[in-house]
């Protein structure tokens, strides 16, 4: 987990709330989240009532997400896919989102 993939993580909740609000996420939506990282946006999307399909490449983060969101995974509110989104994805989601990786 770190910057080898150009990762950065939301440190506060307000950007995640702003993203979900701007995307007009509502209860019952299915959202494809690309690169959920530590799950800050994931948590907010779930709080908004969305079903989340999270695609993550980093195996360390995948395990952390599976532990953190075990209940949501069990109830079907969250699906985590271990993959690189660039390898192609055909999704029925209404909205897609993620925090774009950058390097300093």
Please tell me the class of the 28-97 domain.
alpha beta
> Taking 90 as the threshold, does the pLDDT of residue 76 lie above it?
yes
User: pLDDT category, 97, cuts 50, 70, 90?
Assistant: low
Please choose, from the candidates 104, 79, 101, the residue with its C-alpha nearest in 3D space to the C-alpha of residue 5: 101
> Which element (helix H / strand E) includes 22?
helix 14-22
The pTM score is 0.78
Domain residue ranges of the chain, discontinuous segments joined by +: 28-97
pLDDT at position 13 is 80
Tokens of 59: 């195996």
User: pLDDT category, 14, cuts 50, 70, 90?
Assistant: confident
């Amino acid at each position: 987990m770190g910057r080898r993939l150009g990762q950065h993580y939301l440190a506060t909740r307000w950007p995640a709330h702003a993203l979900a609000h701007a995307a007009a996420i509502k209860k019952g939506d299915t959202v494809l989240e690309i690169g959920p990282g530590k799950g800050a946006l994931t948590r907010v999307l779930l709080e908004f009532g969305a079903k989340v399909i999270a695609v993550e490449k980093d195996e360390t983060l995948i395990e952390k997400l599976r532990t953190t969101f075990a209940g949501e995974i069990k109830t079907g509110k969250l699906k985590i896919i271990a993959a690189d989104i660039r390898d192609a994805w055909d999704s029925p989601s209404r909205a897609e989102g993620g925090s774009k990786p950058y390097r300093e």
